[in-house]
Amino acid sequence: MPPKQPANKKLSKQELKAQKKEQKGWFRSFLSKGSICMFKARNWEPFPGLLIPCAPMFTWLVFGKEILHRLEKKKEDAKKLAEERKRLAEEEAKRLEEEARLASEAEQARLKAEFECILQEKGDLSSFFEWRSSTLAKLEATISSQEDWTRFVEAGGIPHPTNEGNMNNYFDCLETSWDESYTAALSTVKSIYQVFLTTEEILLLEMEKGNTCDFLARFEIYMKKLELLMQKQMDRTTAYLLNKSYEVFKQTNESTVWAMAGEWKIYLWINHMKNPRLRALHEPTLGVTITIPKAFTFANVAIRAYHQMLNPFLKSANIYLSVGGIFGLDILSIPPASRSAKGWTLEHVTMMTSSVVHLGYPFAGDSSGAPSSIGLELTLPTNLIVTETIPEIGWWNDEEECWKKDGITDVEYDKLTRTLKFQTLKARPHSIIQSRVKYYPYHSWILIPSSEIKALFVLESHGSMIKIEVGNRCCKLLDTPFCECKHIIGQDLDPIILLKRLSRCGLHLMPVDTDGKLVYSCLKENNVERYACEDIGLAIPACAIASSKWNVEAGQDSCVVRVLEIPDPCFPPTFEKSKEIRMVLYKAKGNAILNMSERKSKDYKEDLLGEFHASIMVTLRDSVARESLEKMEKADPGFTNCFKRLALGLRLFSFTAVEPLPLPPPIQEQVQGVDQPTSSPEQQQTQNPSTESVSQDNDSAVAALAPQNSPLEAPQSSNPA
C-alpha cells in the first residue's frame, strides 16, 4: 500500500507530482509482485489472440463478462452452423439420390427401348438369316455328298475317319501285320500318316462346329492309336532286321540298313564289326551323318536314326511346339545270335523277337567320366520354315510331356544347303522347336473386296505379310514371304485346313486362349468375338474392313473394327486417305458407330453417333449407298461365312494389337565431370514414335501390298471421279 499523508496538509505541486509517481510505482509493484495470470484475449477485437498479463480481479472486472458472453455466443453460432451444414448435406444427399434415381430410370427406359428396337430389327431380319442358314446347309450337304462320292470312286486301303467300322478293321489289320523291309515299312507308315492327317483335319472341323466332347474324343483316340501304330510298325520291322543282321553280315559284310520315301528317312547301324577306328556313320543318299563316341566302339548296340513328318499329338506343357517332324535317335540292344547244332538252327525267342529294347545314353554303369555327345547331321525338309540363323533344337521328355533343350550343343545351320548339325547327350526324339506365340500378336489386318464373291485378305505379323484370297467356302493362299509354303499356294482349302497346313510348315497362326497370357493381347469374350466375326462378314461384298488400334483399349466385352465403303472394286479408296471411314463398335447386344478416328483421337471413349443395332446392315443403312446395301443383302452366304471362319480361326479381334514401344533407358553423359540430367518421361514419349504413327505406317504398307496388275485389286485411277 502507498504511505498515508497527514490530514489537512496542503501539498505543493512537487509533492503531488511525487505522490502520483509513487502511486504508479505501487501499482506496478502490485502487478509484478501480486498474483499474476495470463489472459488470452481470443475475442478481443483490437488484438485477437493476444496474451495479456493481468491480476485476477482486474481481469475479471475488465474482461470477464465480455469473455463469457462472447464464448457463449460462439458456441451458439457453431451449433447453428453445424445444424445448417447437416441440413444442407441431407438436402444435397436427397437431391443426388433423386437425380441418380431419375437417371437410372431414364437409362433403364432407354435400354428397354433400345432392347425392344434391337428385337424388332432381329425380327425384321429373321427371314434374311433363315435364307442364309438354309443356303449354307444346302451347300454343306452338296459338298459332303461330293466328298462321299469321291471317296467311293477312289476306294482303296485307306479308310475315312468318319467310318467307325472301317477304322476299327484298319486298326486290327495293322496290329496283326508287319513288314520285313524298311521300304515297305515306310510305305505303310506313310499311309498311316495320311489317315492321321485326315483325322486331324476332321477333328478341327468338328471342333469348329462345336460338336459334343464324346464325338471329338473318338477322333482324338484315333490319332493316338495311329501314332502308336506308326511307331509299332517301325519297331517290328527293326526287330526283324536286327534278328536277321547276323546272317546278312556274314554274307555281305554289311551292317547298315536304310530306306527313304520322300521326306521320310530311316537309317539302322548294327555294331557287328567292333571297329575301334570307326567314328562317323555316313549315308550320302539320305544326307545323314552320325558321329559316335568311343564308348560305342565295342558296345553290343545298334543305332537307329529316322526322320518322320509326324509331330507329336500331345501338346507340349511349355511354350514350345515342334515343326518339321521328328528326328529320332535310338540306341537299341542287339538280340543274341542264333546257333546251329546237328542240322538244327536254334534261335532265341525273347521280347526282342517282335519289338526293340531301348538303351539309355549315357550307358548304365559307364564310369569312364563325362559322357561324350553324339553328333547328328541331316538335311531339313524343303517345306520347313527356318527364320533364325541358328534354329532351336529340343528333345521330347516323356515324363514331363514337353520339349527340353538341355544337353544339346554346337548347333549349326547352313541356309543354302539346309544342313543342320548339332551335338546331343539324349537318345530321344529330337525336333526343331519354336515358340507357339512366335507370330503373335498380329500387327494389323485388312480385307478388300475384289468382287461380290471374292476378297483379298492381308495379315501382317511381325514383319511378315500373308495374302489370302477369300472365296465361296474356300480360301486360297496367294503369297507369303516364305518360299517353304509354295506347295500350298493356289490350293482351294477350307479356312481352318489352310491354317493347319501353314502351321505344319512352321507358320503357326492358330492361337488359343492360353496364348493370350504370353503376349500383349486382349482376349475378347467368346460370344462377342463370334458375333463380330459373323456380322462384319455381311459387309465385305460392299465394304473394306480393317483392324483398329482401339480394339485393345475397348476391353474384353467389345470389339472395334474400321469399315470403308467400296462403291467400285476396280477403284477402291484407301484407309489412309479416305474421310468416310466408320469406326464400328461391337458388343454382345449389338453394334454401333463410334465417334472416333484412328489417327486424330488421342484416347478411347465410347462416344456413339447413334444407337445400337442388331446388324451391320442396319447400322450402315444411312451411311452407305443403296447399291451397297443391296450387295450386302444378296451376298453369297458361302463367301461371307468363309471370312467368318477364317477370322475365328485366326482370332483376329483377340490377338491383333499394336504393342506399345518401350521407352529407351535413360542415358547419362558425363561432360568434364558434370552429370547431365536425364530426360523426363514426357520428353522420352515425344522422342519415341507413338502407336498412332506406327498404325499410319502400317496402313500405308498394307495398302501397297497388292501389285498393280493383281487380279484381286485393280490399280487406282488417277482420276478419282
CA separation, residue 465 to residues 461, 478, 479, 568, 697 (Å):
7, 11, 8, 25, 14
Give 97-147 pLDDT, tens digit per residue. Answer: 999 999 999 988 888 888 999 999 999 999 999 999 999 999 989 988 888
pLDDT tens digit sequence for 179-207 = 999 999 999 999 999 999 999 999 898 88
Residue 535 vs residues 134, 593, 619, 636: alpha-carbon distances, Å:
17, 14, 11, 14
Say if residues 476 and 646 touch (Cβ distance below 8 Å): no
329 sits in which H/E element: strand 320-333
pLDDT at 629 over 80: yes
CB 241 within 8 A of CB 307: no
Mean pLDDT of the chain, nearest integer? 82
pLDDT score recorded for residue 721: 27
- pLDDT, one tens digit per residue, over 528-538 is 999 999 999 99
Q: What is the pLDDT of residues 653-690, one digit of tens each?
A: 999 987 665 555 554 443 333 334 444 433 444 344 33
**Would you tell me the crossing angle of helices 495-505 and 637-650 to the nearest 10 degrees?**
40
d(CA 290, CA 329): 10
pLDDT of 54: 52
Distance between CA atoms of 149 and 23, rounded to whole angstroms? 138
Amino acid at position 62, single letter: V
| Exposed/middle/buried for residue 623 (C-beta within 10 Å: 0-12, 13-18, 19+) | middle
Joined grid coordinates for residue 79? 451449433
pLDDT tier at 1, thresholds 50, 70, 90 = very low
Q: Which residue has the higher pLDDT, 579 or 712?
A: 579
| Domain boundary assignment for the chain | 169-337+350-435, 444-661
Give per-residue pLDDT as tens, 31-67.
444 444 444 444 444 445 444 455 555 555 556 677 7
pLDDT tens string 243-302: 888 888 888 888 899 999 988 999 999 988 887 778 889 998 898 999 998 888 888 899
Residue 577 clears pLDDT 60, i.e. is over it: yes
pLDDT digits (tens, 9 = 90+) for 318-354: 999 999 889 999 999 998 877 776 677 677 777 777 7
Q: Express each pLDDT in 427-451 by its tens digit.
A: 999 999 999 999 999 999 999 999 8
253 CB burial (10 A radius; 0-12, 13-18, 19+):
exposed
Nearest to 436 by CA among 490, 392, 376: 392
Which amino acid is residue 486, in one-letter code?
K
C-alpha cell at 351: 521280347
Least Cα distance to 189 among 127, 132, 259, 142 occurs for 259
Q: How far apart are CA 659 and CA 431, in angstroms?
A: 31
Q: Give yes or no for residue 541 having a pLDDT over 70.
A: yes
